[in-house]
Structure 1
């Protein structure tokens, strides 16, 4: 009987070899986004309070597998997905450091995300055991920072495959998302109906879409276009998007008329910036080849 070679090879190739690092990174980004949105759902429904300051277990029986009611299920499911996101973040960071062909800047970004992950876990525990607005805000913004780090890393990895059309598409996504961000805010929706958990999840989903859109547009725009006017506009668009997200969040938390006015003004400027960017990408010649780093 032959003792040839096939027995020396593993039957199942490792995940990183089967799908590649770019796909692993994209999958991790999706899990991070899902964790954020489920966290919003848990907060909006007061589900963390259903656990009566118990962490990491709640009221879900052995190994937390049987939530006793719907609020407990929200919190349990949030923690369940967050566990997988944490494992994926660590795995992606280890792969980025160990694989020889990964850009050191990408590795630095995902390692930074990995370092922030235990901080985020501790803050998540504190939202259950203490539930103060300051801790809740820190928990949210740390999650957003991890999301941004992974978006930037993902765009860097996928950048050679992203053409100038993706810049226009990202700006169009931002232009479409922004009116929904305003319409779903308490400033507008509060005059029509209550700010229900489903509406809060929808607005924060739009928030993540806005952040991803300006990051893709800015990074790929610098890579594909040489126009200083366009790249400057894209940088300003990113700054405006951050202002809209920050002020929008503060307006939700404090219900300040001044913040409401600033939010509407910033959102109006951002929409003009998105539309101007779309026009410029259509009239500005793009690079036929791509040799620069984003």
Structure 2
């Protein structure tokens, strides 16, 4: 098994920095994809893929086409980064969790590329939903790989993740019934930015809890809240009306309760561990 020390000395950029950058760009790609869909730019580029409607069919002819074209460009860059991260994970002997998480993300890429093309050619709700679902799955696997890689480079990672969950999840819970029904485009993008960040934090908390051999209930609760949050975000890609507000509010409340429990248990365990440490130092 690779040691924590093997995450350093990789040259001009360390593996954990590479993993974090890839995950961050994938996060941005998801938001760009949501913006492209909500703005209706996926119907541009003359409905062609991988070509567009500008010069030689390779470049955009107008602003809406540029949005779709730029989304494709960023997706291509992310694809190469995921490939490079997977190769580096195996060649440099990263931990088993890192290797298989990155490999899983790479394995999903071909299907995601096909779905991306179909969103332009056919633009059906089921295809758009599947495209978002695979995007979130790839993002989740990259978050897991990054969490494993960053664990030895962060001070009190579980405590930091718990505090971040306490800050982010309540915003999602409160905003969900309103944003997914009638939110404007900027509000919609902001909601998904916070929601995906909360999703990543909950996943990281679960990974770090399991890796440190801490409470299984914290890990299970964190993963459960993350899975429900992903389902809630996926629900937002469908057409909703006011009758869905109670259902969305109930789902948000359940996610908030699970996240609160996981964060509370984590912070309580951290406080319990701090007291003996302080007594030994005095």
Per the shorter chain, which TM-score range?
0.7 to 0.9
Identify the match of residue 33 of structure 2 among 39, 43, 49.
Answer: 39
Give the conservation status (yes or no) of the 8 Å contact 1:184–1:202.
no
Which residue of structure 1 aligns with residue 255 of structure 2?
A: 270
Cα separation, partners in 2 of 1:105 and 1:233, compared to 1, 3 Å? closer
Give the conservation status (yes or no) of the 8 Å contact 2:105–2:142.
yes
Moved more, 205-214 or 103-112: 103-112
Identify the match of residue 89 of structure 1 among 82, 90, 113.
Answer: 82
Give the conservation status (yes or no) of the 8 Å contact 1:110–1:150.
yes
Which residue of structure 2 aligns with residue 200 of structure 1?
A: 188
1:260 paired to 2:245:
yes
Cα separation, partners in 2 of 1:129 and 1:286, compared to 1, 3 Å? farther
SS of the residue 2:12 aligns to: helix
Matches of 1:109 and 1:90, distance apart in 2: 12
Give the conservation status (yes or no) of the 8 Å contact 2:112–2:134.
yes
Identify the match of residue 165 of structure 2 among 158, 174, 192.
Answer: 174
SS of the residue 1:131 aligns to: coil
Matches of 1:39 and 1:129, distance apart in 2: 16
Which residue of structure 2 aligns with residue 6 of structure 1?
A: none
1:65-101 superposed Cα distances (whole Å, 9 cap, x missing partner): 4x332211211111111111011111111111222x3
Q: Structure 1: give runs of 5+ residues left out of the alignment.
A: 1-14, 289-294
Matches of 2:236 and 2:189, distance apart in 1: 16
Greater helix share, structure number? 2
SS of the residue 2:123 aligns to: coil
Identify the match of residue 222 of structure 1 among 207, 210, 216.
Answer: 210
Paired residues in the alignment total: 266
Cα separation, partners in 2 of 1:247 and 1:273, compared to 1, 3 Å? closer
Matches of 1:282 and 1:122, distance apart in 2: 43
Map residues 156-175 of structure 1 onto 2, 5 A cutoff: 156-164=148-156, 166-175=157-166
Matches of 1:204 and 1:118, distance apart in 2: 24
Select the structure of larger CA radius of gyration. Answer: 1
Scaled by the length of structure 2, the TM-score of the pair is 0.83
SS of the residue 2:11 aligns to: helix
SS of the residue 1:255 aligns to: coil
- Could you say what the CA RMSD is over the residues aligned between the two structures, in angstroms? 2.7
SS of the residue 1:68 aligns to: coil
Matches of 2:185 and 2:97, distance apart in 1: 37
Q: Structure 2: give runs of 5+ residues left out of the alignment.
A: 1-8, 277-282
SS of the residue 1:168 aligns to: helix
Scaled by the length of structure 1, the TM-score of the pair is 0.80
